[in-house]
Amino acid sequence: MNLKVGDKAPDFSLLNQKGEKITLKQLIKDSVLVLYFYPKDETKGCTAQACKFRDDYEQFKEIGARVVGISSDSVLAHQKFIQNHNLPFMLLADIDGKVRKEYEVPKTLGLIPGRVTYIINRQGKIIHIFNSQLNPKKHVSVAISVIKSVSN
């Protein structure tokens, strides 16, 4: 299928860290969505990325964007990750990897779940895709600059 900018983002329904069912439609209802897929809670790169999103979270709020992370970790693992790092945003549990497949997030070296950020507007269209396994913090700065550029 090859998802690209301008495509409609695949809908999904996943549990957040509180065990609540969350859909794409809910997430884009009143804000631009920064949906970032990452490999695993509590790993070095993923922790650095999550903490960078945390540290810049106020900027996302100011520009009218919501940040949501997705990995294959469980609801309980997400609860602990959020507590350990004081994360102010939602994490979704894609335990079977179905949503990751729908978003065509590639694996690194055929093994490691990929790290891709999608920016989705309120109409459900993908307005930017950033893929970088090895530069986790750059996902944050790219997302901020893209959202600022489309909202000006």
Q: What are the tens digits of pLDDT across the range 112-133? A: 899 999 999 999 999 999 999 9
Distance CA 91, CA 17 (A): 6
Kindly list the catalytic residues. 46
> By percentage, how much of the chain surpasses pLDDT 70?
98
Q: What is the pLDDT of residue 1?
A: 54
> By percentage, how much of the chain surpasses pLDDT 90?
90
Q: Please answer whether residues 78 and 91 qualify as being in contact, where contact means their C-beta atoms are separated by less than 8 angstroms.
A: yes
pLDDT band at 93; cut points 50, 70, 90: very high
Enumerate the domain spans of the chain: 13-145
| Segment 46-54 mean pLDDT | 97
Q: What is the pLDDT of residue 27?
A: 97
- Better-predicted residue by pLDDT, 112 or 38: 38
| Segment 80-86 mean pLDDT | 98
Question: Cα separations (Å) of 113 from 30, 39, 73, 104, 129?
Answer: 29, 5, 11, 11, 16
- Better-predicted residue by pLDDT, 41 or 107: 41
Whether CATH 3.40.30.10 fits 13-145: yes
Segment 6-30, tens digit of pLDDT:
999 999 999 999 999 999 999 999 9
Decide: pTM greater than 0.85.
yes
Q: Please answer whether residues 102 and 116 qualify as being in contact, where contact means their C-beta atoms are separated by less than 8 angstroms.
A: no
